[in-house]
Chain A
Amino acid sequence: MNSTKRLSVIEALLFVTGEEGLSMEQLVHILDEPEAQIQEGLSQLSQTLEQESRGLELTIVANRYKLVTKRDVSEYIKRLIENPRPVSLSQAALETLAIIAYKQPISRAEIEDVRGVKSEKAIQTLISKELVKEVGRAEGTGRAILYGVTERFLTHFGLKSLDELPVIKTDLKDVEEETNLFYENIQQTLFE
């Protein structure tokens, strides 16, 4: 198929699949073309949509390509909403979610250790919004529920994958190294 035709097919497919979008595998399967060709079609579509006269853009979230409205038209979309509500999660929910995203699978007790406060309500909120799910049970007594993030988590924050999360020193070893540095400083001042 020629590139013009390919462009229109991909656009139509992404229109039909809407928020669910399509993965590269699905596109390869449907168009029956090699990945390189599809890749080219996608980047052409993306460029076409980038023109200022177009209201949609191509995004990739959680490894799925989909069409979404452009940021600079959201102002007008908001006018469709009669009583807009705040969109953000609470601070407690955001913190809890951050801990789960970096440390999954993780139990409620471990989350509460990090935050220093009870987190049951925050976890329930996150589960009801399907951003977090049970991913198993801990070994040992009590078999505590372990939590992890869902694919919806990626969609909600517009992440391609978990790798897109900002790098933080989740490893306490790093923190320990920093603490050790501080001791060395202390000792230096003591023995000077």
Chain B
Amino acid sequence: MEYQVKIDAFEGPLDLLLHLIKKLEIDIYDIPVAVITEQYLDFIHQMQTLELDVASEYLVMAATLIEMKSRMLLPKPELLFDEEMMEEDYEDDPREALIRRLVEYRQYKEAAEVLKEKEEDQAFLFSKRAHDLSQFEVEKKSEAPLAPTTVYDMLSALQHLLRKKHINRPLRTKIERQTLPVGERMRSILSHLRIMKSPQPFASLFPYPDRTHIVVTFLALLELMKLKQIHCEQEENFEDITISLNEGGEALEFDEETFRD
């Protein structure tokens, strides 16, 4: 075996074919089908002897190559122009479709390389987080009625929050692990909102930079929305979401058991 490559080293059958084309110094526009098919199947067999899982895409490509090889051996069919056969649908070289795919894929692979270089270039150039100047602003009076938020708005708020917490994490923290049932978190959110006389900013409900706590809180919020105990609002796109108690949401009746973790 002249080369022992893991199948993981390739991004799929097209990538593998490009590798073979490069290795055998083949002109991509004039692929010797017999040679490439043999090499390709060789590779697949090696994978199987190494008892590696060969993804189905590789097998589909193997079948395509074999079919192509046999079609290349057949004499050319007579071209019959009838209404069902448009000339442009007719490929007179069985390799054409594959060549196109390979050429196109190769371009994006090259573009990915460029991106990778640019990414490495950027990796350790830092700028600092923008100062939060909101404390110097006059509270905005909300004039327009607030638009109801969707779960997607909530998710994006959560994403921002996670990133922020991650960046602002102290260098060394020690967090005691403890399980927090969603039901319990739901109760504490409601009482927090009652004490604070609502509405509260989304971020204020996530006081701990702890993944479990954040996830449980998020689930609790979704449950409370479903139970129509609270509603979330967002004044403008990308502004912080605010959480408010619903009128008449005083007495909460839900089965704690349902929300056991």
Contacts and interface: CB of A to CB of B under 8 A. Distances in A.
Interface of A: 16-21, 59, 66-71, 74, 77-78, 82, 87-89, 91-92, 94-95, 97-99, 101-102, 114-118, 128, 130, 156-159, 165-166, 168-170, 172, 175-176, 178-179, 181-183, 186
A159 B111 CA distance: 14
B122 A156 contact: yes
B162 to A, nearest CB: 10
B112 interface: yes
Contacts of B127: 18-19, 21, 66-69
B135 interface: no
B105 interface: yes
Contacts of A95: 11, 108-109, 112
A25 to B, nearest CB: 17
Given A16-B130, A115-B108, A166-B111, 10 more contacts: A19-B127, A88-B123, A97-B112, A98-B108, A98-B109, A99-B108, A102-B111, A114-B101, A117-B12, A179-B96
Interface of A is mostly: helix
Contact of A168 (B11, B100, B107, B116): B107
B131 interface: yes
A116 B65 CA distance: 14
Contact of B105 (A87, A91, A116): A116
Contact of A18 (B61, B123, B128): B128
A157 B122 contact: yes
Interface residues of B, number: 44
Contact of B121 (A66, A101, A130, A158): A158
Contacts of B130: 16-20
A78 B108 contact: no
A117 B116 contact: no
Contacts of B86: none
Contact of A175 (B14, B55, B100, B128): B100
Interface in B92-117: 93, 96, 99-101, 103-105, 107-112, 114-116
Interface of B: 11-15, 29-30, 55, 57, 61, 93, 96, 99-101, 103-105, 107-112, 114-116, 118-131, 133, 159, 171
B124 A158 contact: no
A187 B6 CA distance: 40
A170 B12 CA distance: 20
A66 B100 CA distance: 42
B11 A115 contact: yes
Given A18-B131, A115-B11, A168-B111, A87 B119 contact: yes
A178 B104 CA distance: 12
A88 B57 contact: no
B202 to A, nearest CB: 18
B10 to A, nearest CB: 9
A70 B126 CA distance: 8
Contacts of B105: 114-116
